[in-house]
Amino acid sequence: MDPTTLIGPSSPLGYPAPYWFLITFKVLGFTLHMVPMHIWYAGVLLAMLLQWRGGEVGRQLSRRLMRPMPILIALGINFGIVPLLFTQVAYYKVFYPATILMAWPWVSIIVLLTLAYYGVYIYVAGLRTEGATIARWRQAVGWVTAAFFLLIGFFFSNAFSLMTNVRAWPDLWLRKSIGGAPLGTALNTEDPTLWPRWLMMFSLALTTTAVFIIVDAEWFAPQERPNYRAAARRAALMISTIGVIGFATTGSWYVFGTWPAELRESMFRGPLRALTGLTAISPGIPWLLILWQWRKGGTRARAVATAVAQVLVLAFNAISRQIVQNAELGQFLDVTVEPVRLQWSPLILFLLLFAIGLGVVAWMLRRLKAIRTSESG
Amino acid sequence: MHYPWWYVPFLTSPMLIAIISVLHVLVAHYAVGGGLFLAVETQYAYRYNHREYLAYLKEHAWFFILITVVYGAITGVGIWWTIGVASPLATQTLIHIFVFGWAMEYVFFVLEIVSAFIFYYFWGRLDPKTHVRIGWIYAGSAWMSLVLITGITAFMLNSGQWPEERTFWAGFLNPQFVPQVFARTGGAFLLASLYVYLHATFKAKDPALRDLIAARSARPALLGALLIILGGIGWYLALPESAKAALIAASTLNILVVLIFAVTIAVFFMLYLGPYRNPGWLSPGFAILFFTFGLVAITTGEYIREAVRKPYIIYNVVLGNQVYAEKVPELRRTGYLEGGTWTKAWVAHHYPQVLNNDRIDPAQLLALPEEDQVKLGEVLFLYHCNDCHAGRRGFSAVAQLIRGWTPDMVRTVVEHPEKAHFFMPPWAGTPEEAELLTKYLLRIAHPRPAGMYFGEEK
């Protein structure tokens, strides 16, 4: 069966904004989403490992990782709305079929996320009431929560790899359907790109979590004992090193082991070569900054520089991912040529509200800064 | 029909949307009303330096965050998840019309999250003025998100001028918009008070404080009940004729409308006689009863709101079976199997002999062996009918509905479902395809129940 016959016609409504606008917000939103999402994705598992085998400082680090988790999860979920929204606008022809083919795992994300989120709250409540000696049952909840987050990541990787793996659709559909209607139980596990993509995202999540530890130690841990910051830097370096090695390994596997030759050629040619190179080597920059802080000591400015470098790493990854996604889909459809029926006034109103929203958030954060200043004064 | 149809046995996949939507709205209204409650009451408690009340409000804020920020936010995203897989064409249509509406809502979501956490986690560290302001930022953002999402869901019930004008604002400012904003705002006030009663009766130990909470929350609740009634009247007046007819014709909906009015009136009087006039009456049992009534009213209201849309998902735009209303005449000419991306691929894969110049020849379908015709009938059933009907057993199972029908009766309804029941979508295929579906339905139909007596011919 020709897989392109499974791609439906264009929407008669067209795109509500030019493709570049949709994709800018998709990439920007995904970058913002990755920051908190990475911290819970790898952070909860790390916190559990540190609590289990981390010694006194490790357990302290574990507690510091877990305490802000409820806020980070809330922010991450909300930041995820924008990329999902613009994915559905621009990639509807492949997004819906892919998620329908694996509807049960896809929908189960909601159940898993709800349970994991409450799991985090249960664990954090234990930190408040029980302190360092957290009850065993809460620890069990923490481990299950960490496993749920990994599973959610696996389902996400399945959905987004299946979205571009149109070639696999006919087989998955015909094998798992009744009367032509999918059962929704398919997974994209036979796609060779799935595993390196899933593991690559986890490796990248480790590097983001390491940067978070650095920022937290320098900015938010003044009350901790003096040796804590040094220990946090050491732990961050170790986590970042594992993340960078993992990223290099799984990234090489992904690029050299699963990409078709034409895709590899296009990503290593012309201006894209610079982007691919930056995407590949950029995780080394925050790693070097962490190494520097481990050797020379940390400051708030250094922590900020590391965070900025990590956001750039994530942005490079999001941009490269977007280009690869379009290239993978290119053999089946061109998402950039859909007709556009520009919705000027809602678009302007959104941008206006976006700017006002940022202003209000900035105002609220300034109030918090004022509190901290007055409290420390 | 441009997408694969997700088969969910027994329940049908759209019912998953209904389940998760109801679970969401029970908390979503509280997320709005509870925000207003916290802003107003914190301002009041600061003004009168009521320390016990402030302590209670802090405890309530934690309960509020646990319920709304976690459960409410994720079930909200859950609706997105399920509509995409269970109703993809309607979702695609909505998102292409209203993407900036949702994007604006996202801005308010972020404001809600940030302000809610600051409001709670910096309690006692912010000066009262700033604290109250943050509370109002939350309340305003939450209400704006209600307004934005109501514009979109109201559009589904009455698309107004959109089919002619096809602009964002023609869709957003539809006839149902203002009534539903009134009703939902009322629902938010009312439900928030019921959540507060439930929480306060268990957590506020001081009877004087409990009485204060009961009395102060009674007014917004009464106002909420009035807004629901006003909004409900406006909602009814702005319903399309088909929805009004469905409301009157469907016996289940009759009963539910009576139920919702009875429950709302009961809650109104209970509020007046209880917390408003006699705050001391408020006990855990009373609060649980209140809360249950509130949940019943909201759930029933949502069910009615969804049910009266039939046969549309988006009024006059997308039919319940994932077909654009304007495409029906074309599909009746060219065939449903031919018009559907996945149905055509399925036929082409399994029965290439029915293709003629890469198009499905309807006449060839009836030349297939009987068993294959039944199999194709099943495809037609799943893609054309399974949105609302399970097959042999389950939600509104068609095999039960047509028990004992003659082949002619089945054929007539298959060819003209919209004439048999105006709330069913029209048949969107060729007569040959109707024959295939008829054969499938007759195959799965249960026999007429035995032992029924209607007298005897003398």
Contact state of A13 with B167 under an 8 Å Cβ cutoff:
no
Residues of chain B with Cβ-Cβ distance to A184 below 8 Å are 6-8, 85
Contact state of A5 with B345 under an 8 Å Cβ cutoff:
yes
- Number of CB pairs < 8 Å for A and B? 218
Alpha helices in B72-127 (DSSP H): 73-86, 88-121
**pLDDT tens-digit profile, chain B (458 residues):** 799 999 999 999 999 999 999 999 999 999 999 999 999 999 999 999 999 999 999 999 999 999 998 899 999 999 999 999 999 999 999 999 999 999 999 999 999 999 999 999 999 999 999 999 999 999 999 999 999 999 999 999 999 999 999 999 999 999 999 999 999 999 999 999 999 999 999 999 899 999 999 999 999 999 999 999 899 999 999 999 999 998 888 777 788 888 888 888 888 888 889 888 988 888 999 999 989 988 888 888 888 888 899 999 999 999 999 999 999 999 999 999 999 999 999 999 999 999 999 999 999 999 999 999 999 999 999 999 999 999 999 999 999 999 999 999 999 999 999 999 999 999 999 999 999 999 999 999 999 999 999 887 77
Which H or E element spans position B57?
Answer: helix B51-64
Q: In angstroms, rounded to a whole number, what is the distance separating the alpha carbons of residues B96 and B155?
A: 14
For residue A184, give the DSSP letter.
S
For residue A335, give the DSSP letter.
G
Is A125 an interface residue toward B (CB < 8 Å)?
A: no
Residues 395 to 424 of B: which have CB under 8 A from any A CB?
A: none
Contact state of A107 with B3 under an 8 Å Cβ cutoff:
no
> β-pairing, B359-360 with B312-314?
unpaired
The two tokens of residue B89 are: 């064409």
- The answer to whether A169 and A140 are in contact (CB under 8 A) is no
Is A362 an interface residue toward B (CB < 8 Å)?
A: no
Q: Is the peptide bond before B311 cis (omega within 30 degrees of 0)?
A: yes
CA distance B281 to chain A (A): 34
Q: Dihedral (C-alpha) B16, B17, B20, B24: value to the nearest 10 degrees?
A: -170
- The answer to whether B279 and B271 are in contact (CB under 8 A) is no
Contact state of B134 with A353 under an 8 Å Cβ cutoff:
no
- The answer to whether B150 and B104 are in contact (CB under 8 A) is no
Quickly list DSSP for A88-144. Answer: HHHSHHHHHHHHHHTHHHHHHHHHHHHHHHHHHHHHHHHHHHHTTS--HHHHHHHHH
Tell me which long-range contacts B170-174 makes (C-beta under 8 A, separation of at least 24). B171/B97, B171/B98, B172/B98, B172/B101
pLDDT at residue A377, rounded to an integer: 66
- The answer to whether B382 and A39 are in contact (CB under 8 A) is no
> β-pairing, A181-182 with A177-178?
antiparallel
The question of ipTM being above 0.85 is answered as yes
Residues 332 to 361 of A: which have CB under 8 A from any B CB?
A: 341, 343, 345-347, 349-350, 353-354, 356-357, 360-361
pLDDT at residue A133, rounded to an integer: 82
SS3 A48: helix
CA distance B231 to chain A (A): 26
**Residue A179 region, left (φ>0) first, then alpha (ψ -120 to 50), else beta?**
left
Which residue ranges in chain A fall short of pLDDT 50? none
Contact state of A371 with B88 under an 8 Å Cβ cutoff:
no
pLDDT at residue B247, rounded to an integer: 87
Give the chain B residue whose CA is nearest to the CA of A344: B168
For residue A122, the cross-strand partners are none
Q: In angstroms, rounded to a whole number, what is the distance separating the alpha carbons of residues B373 and A205?
A: 53
pLDDT at residue B385, rounded to an integer: 97
Q: Which residues contact B324 (CB under 8 A, 6 or more apart)?
A: A12, B89, B317, B318
Q: In angstroms, rounded to a whole number, what is the distance separating the alpha carbons of residues A169 and A156?
A: 17
Question: Residue by residue, what is the 3-state secondary structure of B167-229?
Answer: CHHHHHCCCCHHHHHHHHHHHHHHHHHHHHHHHHHHHCCCHHHHHHHHHHHHHHHHHHHHHHH
CA distance B131 to chain A (A): 10
SS3 B77: helix
Q: How many CA atoms lie within 13 A of A276 on its CB side?
A: 18
CA distance A169 to chain B (A): 11
Is A177 an interface residue toward B (CB < 8 Å)?
A: yes
Question: What's the angle, vertex CA A110, arms to CA A105 and CA A116, rounded to 5?
Answer: 105
Location of structure tokens 């080394």: A284
The two tokens of residue A90 are: 């621009």
Q: Report the share of chain A in percent with pLDDT over 70.
A: 100
The two tokens of residue B392 are: 């042999």
Is B348 an interface residue toward A (CB < 8 Å)?
A: yes
Q: In angstroms, rounded to a whole number, what is the distance separating the alpha carbons of residues B109 and B116?
A: 10
